Structure formats: structure tokens, C-alpha cells
Structure 1
Amino acid sequence: MSLISPAQRDALAGWLAHERGIKNAAENTIEAYAADVGGFLAFIAAHHGGTEGLGPLTRLTASDMRSWMANERTRGTGARSLARRLSAVKTFFRWLAQREEFDPTTVLSTRAPRVQRPLPRPLSEEAAKAVIETVGELPREGWIAARDVAIVTLLYGCGLRISEALGLLGADAPLPESLRIIGKGGKERIVPVLPAARKAVDDYLRQCPYELAPDAPLFRGSRGGPVNPRLISKAMEQTRLQLGLPATATPHALRHSFATHLLNAGGDLRAIQELLGHAALSTTQVYTGVDNARLMEVYSAAHPRAKRG
């Protein structure tokens, strides 16, 4: 930080005061911003050969940005942390550009490294069943407990995304033996509904205190509005704490568990791909954690040339 010029240090302090006062940023966020942007300014000063005023910051090049990012990676900074630091630098430069009246496009157009989001790990069959039972035993109003049981049963029993389950309407009840689901990108699929899922939804419908109009959400919040997905995540969080499950036991992990358990039971990978609504088989492969040997078994069983061989 000693390389940073007084003008740059003042600018950083002014921006942090802006974030603290105007944006009401939390103190730990301010501390992270100070470290991230301070480190960037120190690198740029050293990269350019010493302390500088604000002028050079207005003339940064794409090469400067690449050098900083390469230096960060050399120091062992992971993709997620580097993306966070770049985001802080961009936020600082937006503020500085308005104040100093320069074009910050070079900084703002710098692309963050791709961050590979870890997929939730599937639960065991025993754990998935325990989750559904425990969700229904959480301390809250009876009909809300029945609602949450119905939702998590649909996630595990039908492989629905949380948005798809919460997107069901009153017109979908009582649930038929198969549901027409519109998934990501408007992709349509038909999903069989297990008797256990239909029963769970029926139990909820009997207890729900609100009138379920055909064009209104099937699942209701405590005040009658749509259910916030965060409520289901919270119920899962409480459940996994009670059961001693890892933090990866999220609502989305139930969808993974649905696919993985079907595959382990001998289900066809392409059929599971259709049930999940995946456009590519490779996505289903990653999703279920299936290995290449199993994938080749499916290929060999389905491909005409493989059959002839």
C-alpha cells in the first residue's frame, strides 16, 4: 500500500466513505473493498514504476488489466476470489470516472475468470426420505408444514426445479399422473407424478386456508401470496442441521438425488435426460455424477452401429 500516491489514497478513502454512507455497505464489505482495490492500486503503481497521481488511472490499458490478473493468479488467487476483486475494482472505477470525468471502458470491459459453480451432491436414498419426513416435523403451522412437504416431495419425486414446483397453478390440482412442465428456455417436458407426490399435494390442499383459483399459484405463503423460494431453502437448512447433513443438502440437491437414484436403479440415462429437461446428455452426465464407463454402456445399448458391432 506504500506505493499508492496520496491522490489515489484519498480517492480510495472517498469511495469507501461513499459506499459506507450512501450505499450503506456493511463494515466487512468495506474492509474487503479496501483490501481488494488497495491491492490493485499498489500493483498498478509498481507496474508503472513508482508512486503516481490519479492521471495514470484514467489511461489504464487492457494490457495493464491482464498483467494484474496474471499476477493475482501467480500469487495463488482462485477464480472466485479474483472475480470478486475485479468486481470491487470496477465499482471503484465507475465512481472515480464520474468524479474525474474519464472513460472507464477499459476497466469495466475486463472479463472476469469463469467460476465453476460446484454442483450440489446428491443425498443417499435414506437421507432423502429423512429430509421429507423431517421437513414435516419442523415447528410451524400445520398447513405450512404440509405445503413444504409437498414441495420437497415434488423436487425429489419428480426431479423438478424449485422454480418449476413453485410455478404450479391451482389449475394443476389435483395433480394428474403426469405433469406438463415448461422448464429453462421454454423447453417442455412431461414428468410422471409418483403417488407419494400426489398424496403430499392432496394433504396440503386439504389444509390450505386460501382459495386456489385456477390461474393463481398452487403453493401459497403465510399471507396468501406466492411462496418465496428462500422459505424452502430455510426449511432445508433447518432440516439438514437436525439430521447432520452437509451444507450441500439444498433444495436443488433433491433434484440431483432424483436423477442419481433413478440411474442407480437401472434407469436409462437418455430417459433421465428427458425427465430433467436437459438439452445435452453431457449435462445429465455431470448432474448425476455418472462415470464414462456407465455412459459408454448407455451408448452401446442405444447406438445402432454399436448394436451391429
Structure 2
Amino acid sequence: MIQPGLRDALEGWITALGAIGGRAGNTCDAYRHDVLGFLEFMQRHRGTGLGVAALGDLTLSDMRAWMAHERGRGVGARSLARALSAVKTFTGWMAEREGFDPTAILSVRSPRYRASMPRPLDEEAALAMIGAVEAQGAEGWIAARDAAVVTLLYGCGLRISEALGLSGGDHPLGASLRIIGKGGKERVVPVLPAARDAVAAYVALCPHPVTGTGPLFMGVRGGALNPRQISKVMERARGQLGLPATATPHAMRHSFATHLLNAGGDLRAIQELLGHSSLSTTQVYTGVDTARLMEVYDKAHPRA
């Protein structure tokens, strides 16, 4: 079994990630899951209890065995790269405290994978999605709630976790919202009148009291709305509209960025609105609408 000292060290690292590193709760949970899975494999692979000292004894062969095991059970290259990153970060943190050489683990190459391009909806489909989501609601206040959430995703470029993380104290929405995103990164996003109106319409119909300390968006019983509910209602809506499976809540955020860029928005401004820490992350949107770019080029260039 994994010895208590190593489990305690893992929890200490997770706590440090959240408190000092500013990592979001979901990120910390994913890292814990990845590293715990790694440690459990190593315990089985080596056939002995795994403690802090044993972590420093792991070899390149041990690492290759773990990666082969993960790929053998169907873990994709992107997910394995994320897990390896978590393992390396944890190992480096442990090595600083315990004084062992982490080279065998840190030298393992991450599997290559092709970064997937964002798949935004076109402007007509994005607006149709909001209307179709609203039409799915069994009750008026639920329909208004779902439409308000999706309007925020598209109108403000929010992640689903950011939209559902809003509190009643954020209502009524002003001209802008202060959002705490991934890694505790803070940004200010403008709020369109349509988004303010959608949220106000939901609050007016909501049967549960919207308090300053409670969630803004609530489920049927009054607790915080589960993001899965928005995914499900969008799934039904995209079936009705004939849209692909990529028409998810996150696609509305992609659509926000792509449509701003297509309209001439500055890439660095869009980076700030999305809360990306690196411009390279935002630059992926420049490759989304190549066909449209070539069409504009052919029509506008004087030598065309």
C-alpha cells in the first residue's frame, strides 16, 4: 500500500498548489487523481509498499512501464501528458524537501499530441443556440436560467465554471464583471445589455431567494446549478438545430473569441477578455477561420 507519509505529502502538495500556486479546485482535484493513480501503479508494479524514499528510487524503466500501462488502458496522449506533468511537478516538489535526485522522472519525454483547434459556432448558430436552449426549459424560470447562462458564455466569453461561480451579490449585473479564472487570474469583462437583461429576467422568475452569499444560478432545489445541466440542455438544443457534438458550453466561449477576432478585434485585447495567461493560447483562434480569411484576401487585395 502507499505509505501514510507519502499520502500526507501528496495532500501537502495539493494544499500548496491551491494556497500558494493559486490553482483552481478542479485543477487540484485532477492533479491529485493523476498522481494518486501513478503512485498506486508504482506500488503494484514494484510489489512493495511505496513510501517517500521509494519515490527517489524510481527508474526510467519504471516510468516507461507506467506510461505503457496508461496507453494500454486507452488513455490518450493529451491526458497522459497532463498526468505526466502532474507527476513531474509533484516529484520536483518532493525532491526539494527530501533531497533525492528526481532526474529519472523529470527526464521522461511527454507524449506528442496535436492540439485540437477550437470549433466555434457561426454567429447565426450561436444565437439560435441561445433561443433553442430557452425553449427546452420545462418551467419558465428554468428556461430563463438556462438562456441566461448560455448568453453569458457567448456574450462575455466565460467558462461554464466562471458563469456558475457567480454569486447573488453579482446581481444586478453592471457594465462589467470581475471574474476570477484559472489559476486565480483576475480579469474584468464587459457585459452586454442582452446578458444583463437575460440574467435580470431569470432572477425575476426564480422561485428561490437570490442572496448575496448564495449562488446566482440555482438548481431545482435551490442549490448551486450543476454544470452538467447546461451541457444536457445544450445537447438537446443542438439535436434540434442539427449542430455537431462540438456545440458544447465551451464552444460558446470559442465563438465569442472567434467572432470578435473576425470583426477586427485586437488579439491582445481578446487575450485579456478570455483570461489567457499566454498570448500563444489565444493565437489558436487565428487559425480557426482560414477559409474566410482567404476569401477576404481574394476580394480586397489590389493584386487579386
Aligning the two structures, in what range does the TM-score lie when normalised by the shorter sequence? 0.5 to 0.7
TM-aligned CA distance change 1:113 to 1:199, over 3 Å: same
Question: For the residues of structure 2 that align with 1:61 and 1:183, how far apart are their CA atoms?
Answer: 37
Cα deviation for residue 287 of structure 1 reads 4.1
- Residue in structure 2 matching 1:235, options 233, 245, 248: 233
SS at match of 1:216: coil
Cα deviation for residue 176 of structure 1 reads 0.3
- Residue in structure 1 matching 2:274, options 276, 279, 282: 276
- Residue in structure 2 matching 1:181, options 179, 185, 188: 179
* 1:199 pairs with 2:197: yes
Mapping for residues 101-112 of structure 1, pairs under 5 Å: none
Is residue 69–residue 82 contact of structure 1 (8 Å, CA) maintained in 2?
no
For structure 1, the residue ranges without an aligned partner over 5 or more in a row are: 1-54, 88-107, 293-309
Is residue 217–residue 226 contact of structure 1 (8 Å, CA) maintained in 2?
yes
TM-aligned CA distance change 1:219 to 1:119, over 3 Å: farther
- Residue in structure 2 matching 1:113, options 108, 111, 116: 111
For structure 2, the residue ranges without an aligned partner over 5 or more in a row are: 1-44, 49-57, 85-104, 291-304
Which structure is richer in relative contact order (CA contacts within 8 A, separation 6 or more)?
2
Is residue 168–residue 219 contact of structure 1 (8 Å, CA) maintained in 2?
yes
Give the letter for the 2:265 counterpart.
Answer: G
Question: For the residues of structure 1 that align with 2:46 and 2:211, how far apart are their CA atoms?
Answer: 62
Cα deviation for residue 222 of structure 1 reads 0.4
Aligned-residue Cα RMSD (Å) equals: 3.8
Question: For the residues of structure 2 that align with 1:175 and 1:224, how far apart are their CA atoms?
Answer: 20
SS at match of 1:190: strand
Is residue 150–residue 200 contact of structure 1 (8 Å, CA) maintained in 2?
yes
**Which residue in 2 is equivalent to 1:51?**
none
Cα deviation for residue 165 of structure 1 reads 0.5
SS at match of 2:136: coil
**Which residue in 2 is equivalent to 1:155?**
153
TM-aligned CA distance change 1:192 to 1:244, over 3 Å: same
Relative to the length of structure 1, the TM-score reads 0.60
SS at match of 2:135: coil
Give the letter for the 1:259 counterpart.
Answer: A
Of structures 1 and 2, the larger Rg is shown by 1
Cα deviation for residue 153 of structure 1 reads 0.1
Mapping for residues 65-84 of structure 1, pairs under 5 Å: 66=64, 79-80=76-77, 83=80
Is residue 128–residue 257 contact of structure 1 (8 Å, CA) maintained in 2?
yes
- Residue in structure 2 matching 1:247, options 237, 245, 261: 245
Question: For the residues of structure 2 that align with 1:231 and 1:186, how far apart are their CA atoms?
Answer: 25
Relative to the length of structure 2, the TM-score reads 0.61
SS at match of 1:191: strand
Give the letter for the 2:133 counterpart.
Answer: V
Give the letter for the 1:217 counterpart.
Answer: P
Question: For the residues of structure 2 that align with 1:229 and 1:82, how far apart are their CA atoms?
Answer: 21
Mapping for residues 55-74 of structure 1, pairs under 5 Å: 62-63=60-61, 66=64
TM-aligned CA distance change 1:111 to 1:132, over 3 Å: same
Question: For the residues of structure 2 that align with 1:287 and 1:264, how far apart are their CA atoms?
Answer: 10
- Residue in structure 2 matching 1:134, options 117, 125, 132: 132
Cα deviation for residue 128 of structure 1 reads 0.1
Mapping for residues 255-294 of structure 1, pairs under 5 Å: 255-287=253-285, 289=287
Question: For the residues of structure 1 that align with 2:179 and 2:214, how far apart are their CA atoms?
Answer: 16
Number of residue pairs the alignment of both structures matches: 218
TM-aligned CA distance change 1:227 to 1:64, over 3 Å: closer
Q: Residues 137-194 of structure 1, C-alpha deviation per residue, up to 9 Å, x if partnerless?
A: 1151111110000000000000011111001111111100111111111111110000
Question: For the residues of structure 2 that align with 1:282 and 1:119, how far apart are their CA atoms?
Answer: 13
TM-aligned CA distance change 1:190 to 1:65, over 3 Å: closer
Question: For the residues of structure 1 that align with 2:235 and 2:118, how far apart are their CA atoms?
Answer: 14
Question: For the residues of structure 2 that align with 1:263 and 1:130, how far apart are their CA atoms?
Answer: 20
Mapping for residues 6-21 of structure 1, pairs under 5 Å: none
Question: For the residues of structure 1 that align with 2:78 and 2:174, how far apart are their CA atoms?
Answer: 47
Mapping for residues 208-227 of structure 1, pairs under 5 Å: 208-227=206-225
Give the letter for the 1:188 counterpart.
Answer: E
* 1:122 pairs with 2:120: yes
Question: For the residues of structure 1 that align with 2:75 and 2:146, how far apart are their CA atoms?
Answer: 37
**Which residue in 2 is equivalent to 1:168?**
166
